[in-house]
Structure 1
Amino acid sequence: MRKLGLALLMLSIVFVNTSVSMAHPGRTDANGGHTCRTNCAKWGLKDGEYHYHNGGTTSTPAAPSSSPSSPSGSNDSKSTALKADKIKPPAKGKLSVYFLNVGQGDATYIKTAAGDDILIDAGKKEAGEIVVNYLKQLGVDDIEVMISTHPDADHVGGLDTVLKNFKVKAVYAPKVSHTTDTFKNFLVAVKKQGLTIKEAKAGVALPLKGVTAKFVGPVKTYGDDLNDWSAVLHLTHGSNTFLFTGDAEKKSEADMLADNQTLKADVLKVGHHGSVSSTNAAFLKAVAPKYAIISVGKNSYGHPAATILNRLETAKATIYRTDLNGTITAVSDSKKITFIKVK
């Protein structure tokens, strides 16, 4: 309870508004998992079974042990051996979007035509140095906007390392807490920069020149469904559009549709690494992407699911995957989007 209390206290400090919804029942360890002790049947578990919560679903490690190595939403056992790809610097006067190869996790860097830097997530803890490597390759000196889509370890894990290496001017995150050391480290790093977290929710716009960048999700609150809390960003550059979905699942997708949020996009960062929990048919129809990017690494969750790949193909979207293509760069001149693959 001491750990839980500390996490809540810290979040109340860094958020401007201190009304925080708890997202994960029970005490978790540094890896984002815990041993079920109460209400285990709710999660389809036995009393005393070690597991991870991944949004509204629950998963157990393939080989449970007293010291699990893979945090929630991530099962890339070789992520520590992953190295940053060699990538080309941003084109001047154009918008460049880098879907960074960080193994099983999410990390996206955006350089606007006006020169602003945006980072959305930074993979697992082990990926933090890799993301820093990418940013240094690209000549980043500071970051105008950092977005933590949600507290899952394979999204928020590397952000504290980035914060230790770069001056960040603004941090956005949904108003949801988590009890892991990984999330606590993120909060501490934000506080050390003297920042308060700005709430990411539908309707909030980013003050950037040359682009229109607005959160279209989350629309509602989602209790302990971490994935549905994901900050979803819609970005427009001239006639080119992008949608970055984090791990948003079907509830959040349905709410964005019902709320008439702007979803149509040329490029879709596919939700939840291509899991069947996301990219519902109605949502995909509304987005109508020409290109679909799946950020994924070696995992035992079946990401990306064949159902989702087939759905994207039926929608005639060109699919790129970081596990197959390495870091993927989309370059927009405001009228046309071109892609650069590492492999």
Structure 2
Amino acid sequence: MGADLVTALIGAVIAGAAGLLLGKLNAFKKKKGRSPLWLGALLFAVVLIGLLYFEERPDETGQTDGGGKPVAGTTISAPYVRAEGEMLVHYINVGQGASQLLVGPTGKTMLIDAGNNDKEEMIVAYLQRAGIKKIDILVGTHPDADHIGGLDAVIDHFDIGQFYMPKVQSNTKTYEDVLLAAKKKGIKVDSAKADVNLKWDSGATARIVAPIGDYSDTNEMSAVIRVAYGETSFLLTGDAESKSETDLVASGTNLKADVLLIGHHGSNSSTSDPFLERVGPKYAVIQSGKNNYGHPTPEILAKLAGKNITVLRNDTSGNIVFVSNGKSLDIKLDPWEYIKGKAK
């Protein structure tokens, strides 16, 4: 039974009980001139229960943790306003694609990927809605269209600081459009590779940990970035698959993260057991939409559930925003959508 139906049934029961008791009170008053105290107290208790249930109950995100329990988060109707000293990590709902917006504790911004070509208007609108004026660091994890399709629009509409992409050749128009947009604005494309410390926000650290080697598969060449703020950390993986994951584990680099972006939209080609063990996340975010690939696969979901990792998904919860104060994490869910030139 769906959560909305359960809520409606409970509401109906509470309202019915309150109406019945109110009717009894009125009947006693008409017949005897007054109503018994116990009946008034019972009515008060029913109303109080209703208020507590509907005002204090946590939002149900539609997500489940590793044990199948609903994840409690706060649904927001407007962009979350960052408080001083907070870091935000937005997992933007771009459908079958990926995009993450980071706002550091001092306000510096980083955008990693920008969804597919048909999400150009949407990604620009999302950034504008969030009050973004400049992208201090822009990253295209690898040349696949569902990751870099919107980057040219971002370059056209915003001031860009540094721009990173791995050294991968591609002859697609999407890739060429991104390079042309950068060239028109005189933006240099720096190489995204392992052991690059990004000069981003003074309150946080950001380090590219992969690709470590040269791979024939463009997915394996994905830029993987670890971001840490205080005691909290995030690992953002692009479409990195098992070969890159194996090399990362063997390298001994710090992969520990509270929040892991599941590689390749939840494909079986990523999230290998040794890699997942090394990262040890509390939360896993899956960026996927309607697709014919079976993403995320039942095997990956079962693996995460078996390790009691809380799973959040764009395809069921919309935009997902993690808020870090350097010690703990809070989850905000933003259902905002942009469809056919109109936000809703």
What TM-score do you get using the length of structure 2 for normalisation?
0.74
- Residue 204 (str. 1) matches residue 204 (str. 2): no
- Give the Cα–Cα distance (whole angstroms) in 2 for the partners of residues 91 and 295 of structure 1: 26
For structure 1, the 5+ residue unaligned runs are: 1-84
Query: Which secondary structure does the structure 2 equivalent of 1:146 belong to?
Result: strand
Aligned residue for 2:84? 92
Give the share of equivalent positions with the same residue, in percent.
44
Aligned residue for 2:144? 152
Q: In the TM superposition, what is the alpha-carbon distance from 1:158 to its structure 2 partner?
A: 0.4
Q: How does 1:144-183 map to 2 (within 5 A)?
A: 144-183=136-175
Q: In the TM superposition, what is the alpha-carbon distance from 1:86 to its structure 2 partner?
A: 5.3
Aligned residue for 2:247? 255
Which amino acid in 2 is paired with 1:287? V
1:231-284, Cα deviation, whole Å (9 max, x unpaired): 000011001010000000000000111111211100001100000000001100
Q: Which of 329, 334, 338 lines up with 1:342 in the alignment?
A: 334
Root mean square deviation of aligned Cα: 1.1
- Give the Cα–Cα distance (whole angstroms) in 2 for the partners of residues 281 and 214 of structure 1: 23
- Give the Cα–Cα distance (whole angstroms) in 1 for the partners of residues 251 and 175 of structure 2: 30
For structure 2, the 5+ residue unaligned runs are: 1-76, 336-344
1:75-99, Cα deviation, whole Å (9 max, x unpaired): xxxxxxxxxx953233332000000
Aligned residue for 1:311? 303
Aligned residue for 1:288? 280
- Give the Cα–Cα distance (whole angstroms) in 2 for the partners of residues 192 and 143 of structure 1: 17
- Give the Cα–Cα distance (whole angstroms) in 1 for the partners of residues 91 and 104 of structure 2: 14
Q: Which has the higher helix share?
A: 2
Q: How does 1:197-276 map to 2 (within 5 A)?
A: 197-208=189-200, 209-223=202-216, 225-276=217-268
1:111-157, Cα deviation, whole Å (9 max, x unpaired): 00111010000000111111111111111111100000000000010
Q: How does 1:16-27 map to 2 (within 5 A)?
A: none
Aligned residue for 1:195? 187
For these two proteins, the number of residue pairs brought into alignment is 258
Which amino acid in 2 is paired with 1:102? V
The structure with the larger Rg is 2
- Residue 332 (str. 1) matches residue 343 (str. 2): no
Q: How does 1:5-154 map to 2 (within 5 A)?
A: 87-154=79-146
Q: In the TM superposition, what is the alpha-carbon distance from 1:314 to its structure 2 partner?
A: 1.2
Query: Which secondary structure does the structure 2 equivalent of 1:341 belong to?
Result: strand
- Give the Cα–Cα distance (whole angstroms) in 2 for the partners of residues 315 and 205 of structure 1: 31
1:43-62, Cα deviation, whole Å (9 max, x unpaired): xxxxxxxxxxxxxxxxxxxx
What TM-score do you get using the length of structure 1 for normalisation?
0.74
- Give the Cα–Cα distance (whole angstroms) in 1 for the partners of residues 298 and 311 of structure 2: 13
Q: In the TM superposition, what is the alpha-carbon distance from 1:193 to its structure 2 partner?
A: 1.6
- Give the Cα–Cα distance (whole angstroms) in 2 for the partners of residues 216 and 181 of structure 1: 28
Q: In the TM superposition, what is the alpha-carbon distance from 1:310 to its structure 2 partner?
A: 0.8
Contact 1:95 1:113 in 2 (8 A): yes
Contact 1:288 1:315 in 2 (8 A): no
